[in-house]
A = this chain, B = another copy of it.
Amino acid sequence: MADEALFQFLHNEVIQYIYKSSEHGEMENGRCITKLENMGFRVGQGLIERFTKDTARFKDELDVMKFICKDFWTSVFKKQIDNLRTNHQGIYVLQDNKFRLLTQLSAGKQYLEHAPKYLAFTCGLVRGGLSNLGVKSIVTAEVSVMPACKFQVMIQKM
């Protein structure tokens, strides 16, 4: 619980700090999101390196995605992804019915517009993790009803 809180509070501070800088006219919303995403990317790269130090080689892309949904997600968010779907053509949808970084927000529609800034870091986290496993991707997120959340991973064939 302590660790969760530490990460969560620091994550909040980072969001606030970046958005506060943007108020001074230094950058607009899109650039804030990009900054957060990039931070997540580098953290994801670092984490996956630690997590996979002693794991066996992955069989295929799906195997990698399962690792992200189970081990990686559990380490970071203390629960697994609730549902993983794929069209078998390089698109994966990871659904988390109770996404930890959204549970602190009120569940109504009122704060729905603020959701993207709480998701950007995690999109980067997934992209960075995948990247270090040799899977290039684009990761986006959407929320329809808080605190549930879907991350869409589009694999970029190289």
Taking chain A's interface residues, is the majority helix, strand, or loop, or is none over half, making it mixed? helix
Residue from A2, A46, A76 having most chain B Cβ neighbours under 10 A = A2
Number of interface residues of A (CB under 8 A): 26
Q: A53 — nearest CB in chain B belongs to which residue?
A: B1
CB distance from A112 to the nearest CB of B (A): 24
| A5 lies within 8 A of B35 (CB) | no
Segment of A7-15, A57-65, A132-140 engaged in the interface with chain B? A7-15
| B6 lies within 8 A of A76 (CB) | yes
CB distance from A1 to the nearest CB of B (A): 7
| B6 lies within 8 A of A43 (CB) | yes
A143 contacts chain B at the CB level, 8 A cutoff: no
